[in-house]
Structure 1
Amino acid sequence: MIGRYLSAMTEVLRRTAGENIRLVRFLYVDHGGIVRGKSAAAARLAERIESGIGHTRAMMAMSMVDELSPVEGMGPVGEVRIKPDPDTFVTLPYAPGAAAMLADQVSPDGTPWDGCARTFLKQAIAELAAEGYELQASFEPEFSLGRHEGASFTPIDESLCYSATGFHLAHDYTIDLVDALIKQGLEVEHYYPELGHGQQEVPIRHATALRAADNHVLLRETARAIAIRHGLWASFAAKPLPEQAGNGAHLHASLWASGTNAFADPSGQYGLSSLGYHFLAGVLAHLPGLVALSCGTVNSYRRLAPQMWSGAFACYGPDNREAALRICSPIGSAGSVNLELKPVDSTGNPYLTLGAFIYAGIDGIRRSLDPGEPLLVDPAVLDPSERDRLSVFRLPSSLGAALDALEADSYLMSVLGALRSTAYLAVKRSEAAHFSGKDVEYECRKHWLNF
């Protein structure tokens, strides 16, 4: 482990010198879902990789509108270090002379800090490994591309979903975006113009859980940066334009053991193994609280509504795109079966989202939970009594309701830990209070600016 770390560090220093890098950004995602960080000068990079950069604990109590929540242990007293992971080093094609690494926040003595979101995902990965499994995952992000003109966001086009016109109008931007992603080691699976005006989708190929979350951060940063260089603006807000389709970031995942997809069973219903059903059932059981993490802003709940293909009801089904959890049909081989979690968007911290998803699935496996019968129709077309009979219920319709569900979920609160869960609830309740009583225009503007 130490040898690998030293080798990665040596490679970072070699590339920094060879590629004339002058500043290296150490990036993390806070509880507000904002990508933040500090940068180290190349001349002191070796020291800063080892020690991290000093940082106030208070930043993990900062909201998406830069309001500081009163959280014990995250005030003006106390220090953490932003410590980068050398394995994540990338030069930034859109920022000549700059590079970046994803970072953990650690205590001054180098030990993990309980307020760090990336550390939470690492803990979930270790817990899953103790059960004998590794999770492969990918986010399926949508974003809106347009022009930032004063207080207005104007989409670049009014093209139809998947239309060739949409490809033409965004072509120059898209090619630059794909090139920049490839140069950072991200494998682009697909690209297409989506339903909303100016809406784009660029899924990245699945990877191990930590890499998948890191990739999602890099994609967000790259899409925004390339847009700026084109005189455009890219927004990952869930509903930057209230009258248009929302931007999701559906999560696809499967469990693997000894090189085999543990979710795949050709003899199982819809090709899913009994292990897969237990995992699915755990996610369903904790989904009301989990969406407080995966749909992390007030604006998220404009998207998370019935018949918006966002998974607004707690249920599952084979290729049911209105169910919160979809069993995806295999593509290419039976081993490609995976689960898709639909109530996810890019305003949620990807490390918290993926970590909580893993922990929920582990709970389902350990307790051999049964998800009940699959739903083969749009849950919104069922009458309420039929939904009750099938135990299909509406997920929280506001950030406040989702936070209440999270706080009531003793298991998720326990795995998050006292400091992290307290800080997250405080930050998100402050955001709910900030936007309470504000009009839709104000809410959407703050979100398309900051995400």
Structure 2
Amino acid sequence: MAERAARARLVADRLRTAAVDVVALGWVDNAGIARVKAVPVGGLEHAAARGVGAAPCFDVFLVDDSITESRVGSGPVGDLRLRPDLDRLVPLAAQPGWAWAPADRHTQDDTPHPGCQRRFARRMESAARERGLTLLAGVEVEWVVALAGPPEEPPRYPTHGPAYGLQRLADLSDYLRDVLRALEHQGLTVLQIHPEYAPGQFEVSVAAEGPVAAADTAVLVRHTVRAVSIRHGLRASFAPAVEPDGVGNGAHLHLSLWRGERNLGHGGPGPHGLTEEAQAFFAGVLAALPELLVLGTPSPAGYLRLVPSRWAGAYQCWGLENREAALRLVTGSAGERSSAANAEIKCFDATANPYLVVGGVIAAGLAGIDQGLRLPPETTVDPAALPPGSVPRLPTDLPQAIAAFERSAVLREALGEPLYEAVLAVRRAEQELFAGREPEEIIAATRWRY
């Protein structure tokens, strides 16, 4: 504790030199909403040593800020402590005077809170490391940008250029440049930033890093995009469904498996160079995708996006560079395959808590190794073009995903009972919240919440 306080004093001195006055301590709840408490720079030492109070009921908040119940907490009784991760603290380029740090949640006795999603991701990362395995991960962030206006109004777009069109860059070049600058000023390596398919839609990809760090970065990227958008008189939506019948926003997870300096996705005897371990890992992920949707596509809104022929990964299959498969194998170009080979999980979206996503995927992959799984036959064509039943569909609604989650001993054990029960309680409550609503109503209720 004294060591944390001493380090926080040094960090606070650097923040003052950089004209930072306030530090936002962020965490993501089980509904996928990024929550925050903030302290002045002078309070960072106490926050690092003792934490900042936050009620346990945030574990059972819903997207509309109503509260359900579980053993983790639901009412006004009890307290937890938010403790910032000083290694990830960063001044916010689009919010002068502010810094941000992801927070771990502890009890008042300074023991880890069993419902802390970031701790869960760290436990799963450590479980892989204990086997001599490391992982690199990255989340592609898609968003739709619209003109600022009342939230109840349909979005009005600042650009009407074609999908992937150069015209969109001309229309919003200053805005996109500022997004790029802000991300890079915050220490992130941007790989790509470009227009996407839907009206007003863009995507940014950043360099891969460890799973917990990648989840931190996913939160930071979305917050940065939102802040830059506001400064340009715009608003950003990361929701999976923004317009009825639109393709919506995904949050594709890229993942590679390593043993020492070797990328296990390259140079092996398995399909397209997978080693036996990598094939078993990704087979475990593919087999668990129905239950993983409770973590990665947790909102009823996500199932308005997860439909065939939208490159959303609606089918439980895999294929080399197959963008309609839920699991897309990426070997990379000639000359870079030993470092670039990875798998992309396409069926997830940004209503997910990214810490639950990376932790759950690692748990499923390690179970695949333990069980010696092998990938099923590859799907080399558009699965939607095959005869019905040729390739299994992933759950088409949240109740189906919940049923799969309830059958998953692997995820229940990995999450631990308190976190498992809180996740399940939130999913059931949100399903009830949106039961019977038309797609337009679901979209309107979630469009600006993410």
Q: Structure 1 length as normaliser, TM-score?
A: 0.95
| 1:313 alignment partner AA | Y
SS in 2 for 1:155: coil
Match among 359, 365, 369 for residue 369 of structure 2: 365
The answer on whether the counterparts of 2:138 and 2:214 sit within 8 Å (CA) in structure 1 is yes
What corresponds to 1:379 in structure 2?
A: 383
CA distance in 1, matches of 2:263, 2:426: 38
- What's the CA shift for 1:302? 0.7
Partners of 1:205 and 1:2 in 2: how far apart?
34
CA distance in 2 between counterparts of 1:129 and 1:349 reads: 22
In 1, the alpha carbon distance for the partners of 2:362 and 2:198 equals 31
Give yes or no for contact 2:134–2:260 (8 Å, CA) kept in 1: no
1:212-251 deviations in whole A, cap 9, x for unaligned? 1100000010111111111101000001112322111111
Is 1:32 aligned with 2:31? Answer: yes
Displacement of 1:341 in angstroms is 0.6
The answer to whether residue 358 in structure 2 is matched with residue 354 in structure 1 is yes
Q: Distance in 1 between matches of 2:140 and 2:113?
A: 29
Native 8 Å contact 2:145 2:201 kept in 1: yes
Deviation at 1:206, TM superposition (A): 0.6
Aligned positions of 1:140-289 closer than 5 A:
140-150=140-150, 151-152=152-153, 153-265=155-267, 267-289=269-291
Amino acid at match of 1:197: P
Task: Verify: 1:78 aligned to 2:78, yes or no.
Answer: yes
> How far is 1:366 from its partner?
1.4
- Over the aligned positions, Cα root-mean-square deviation in angstroms equals 1.7
CA distance in 2, matches of 1:212, 1:56: 26
1:330 to 317, 329, 332: 332
Residues 272 and 337, structure 1, Cα contact 8 Å, conserved in 2: no
Deviation for aligned residue 1:11: 4.3
Q: Which runs of 5+ in 2 are unaligned?
A: none
Q: CA deviation at 1:307?
A: 1.2
Partner of 2:420, secondary structure, is helix
SS in 1 for 2:37: strand
* 1:108 Cα deviation from its structure 2 partner: 1.0
Quote the residue 1:122 is aligned against: 122
Which residue in 2 is equivalent to 1:92?
Answer: 92
Amino acid at match of 1:83: R
Q: How far apart, in 1, do the equivalents of 2:261 and 2:172 lie? A: 39
- SS state at 1:146 partner: strand
| Cα shift at 1:141 | 1.4
Deviation at 1:266, TM superposition (A): 5.7
Task: Name structure 1 gaps, 5 residues minimum.
Answer: none
Contact preservation (8 Å) 1:271, 1:334:
no
Please give the alpha-carbon distance, in whole angstroms, between the structure 2 residues aligned to 1:255 and 1:11.
36
**Paired residue type of 2:250:** G
Distance 2:384 2:9 in 1: 56
Q: CA deviation at 1:420?
A: 0.7
Match of 2:42 in 1: 43
Q: Distance in 2 between matches of 1:429 and 1:160?
A: 39
**Residue range with higher mean Cα deviation, 139-148 or 326-335:** 326-335
> Which residue of structure 2 aligns with residue 66 of structure 1?
65
Q: CA deviation at 1:71?
A: 1.5
Summarize deviations over 1:18-64 as a string: whole Å, max 9, x none. Answer: 12222110000000100001001122211111111011100111011
**1:433 maps to 2:432:** yes
Which moved further from structure 2: 324-333 or 85-94?
A: 324-333
Deviating more after overlay: 188-197 vs 328-337: 328-337
- Is residue 2:145 matched to residue 1:131? no
Partner SS state of residue 202, structure 1: strand
Q: Residue 54 of structure 2 corresponds to which residue in structure 1? A: 55
Is the CA contact (8 Å cut-off) linking 2:70 and 2:421 kept in structure 1?
yes
Residues 141-192 of structure 1 show CA distances to partners (whole Å, capped at 9, x for unaligned) of 1110112322122222222221110111121111111111111111110011
Report Cα offsets for 1:267-304 as digits up to 9, x if no partner.
Answer: 54312222111011100121100011111211100111
Alpha-carbon separation, structure 2, partners of 1:2 and 1:284: 45
CA–CA separation in structure 2 for the residues paired with 1:361 and 1:344 = 16
Encode CA deviations 1:310-369: one digit per residue, 9 max, x unaligned. 111111111111111111022341211111111011110000001000110000111111
> Which residue in 1 is equivalent to 2:343?
339
Q: Distance in 1 between matches of 2:215 and 2:269?
A: 32
| Structure 1 residues 79-126: Cα deviation after superposition (integer angstroms, max 9, x where no partner) | 111111000111112222111100111111211111111011001001
Quote how far apart the aligned CAs of 1:2 are: 9.6
**Equivalent pair of 2:89/2:101 in contact (CA under 8 Å):** yes
SS in 1 for 2:191: coil
> 1:299 aligned to 2:301?
yes
Query: Which residue matches 2:400?
Result: 401
1:106 aligns with 106
- TM-score w.r.t. structure 2 length? 0.95
Whole-angstrom distance in 2 between the partners of 1:433 and 1:263? 41
Identity %: 36
Letter in 1 for 2:213: R
Runs of 4+ in 1 over 4 A off after TM superposition: 5-8
